[in-house]
Amino acid sequence: MTITYSCIANGRAVLAELALTGGSYQEAVATVLKLVLLRAEPKTIMQMGSFVYHTLFIDGITYLCATDNALDTITPSAFLKNAKESQKTRKILRRIWWKHFRKIVVITVVILLSIIIILLSTNVIPT
């Protein structure tokens, strides 16, 4: 079994996609995305034509992959799990960035206040 198509969508708008085989996936994907948005379930599996579409819906973003075998669900689940983990990683990295940004702002303010106090105490700046 192979994953023949994958995409990331925000609502019905496909943000990124990759098709490993020829074929027109757009019509089926549009239908799948519509159903995913209506159901709003975290995971869905749908068969359309000769492909099985596996989706993972997290915070309004849909991660979708199409396979050519209805019996194997392990590979698509593992593939969609990387999407879930990457989203957690982004949240953690964003939290760390803000933490460091706040430290930099506090240190900058303290240094500026220290310079102003030193300059005022040495009468370099008239009061």
Beta strand spans in the chain (E): 3-10, 13-19, 43-48, 51-58, 61-67
Whether 48 maps to a domain, the answer reads: yes
Whether 112 maps to a domain, the answer reads: no
Q: Is the pLDDT of residue 125 over 70?
A: no
Whether 104 maps to a domain, the answer reads: no
The per-residue pLDDT for range 65-75, each reduced to its tens digit, is: 888 866 666 77
Whether 27 maps to a domain, the answer reads: yes
Number of domains in the chain: 1
Q: Are 75 and 66 in contact (CB under 8 A)?
A: no
Residue 106 pLDDT grade (very low, low, confident, very high; cuts 50, 70, 90):
very high
Q: Which residues pair with 91 in a beta bridge?
A: none
Supply the CATH number for residue 43's domain: 3.30.450.50
Buried b (16+ CB within 10 A) or exposed e, 53-68: bbbbbeeeebbbbbbe
28: number of Cβ within 10 Å: 17
115: number of Cβ within 10 Å: 10
pLDDT (0 to 100) of residue 108? 93
Whether 123 maps to a domain, the answer reads: no
Whether 26 maps to a domain, the answer reads: yes
Whether 45 maps to a domain, the answer reads: yes
The Cα–Cα gap between 88 and 35 comes to: 25
Whether 83 maps to a domain, the answer reads: yes
The Cα–Cα gap between 7 and 66 comes to: 9
Query: What residues make up the domain containing 43?
Result: 3-87
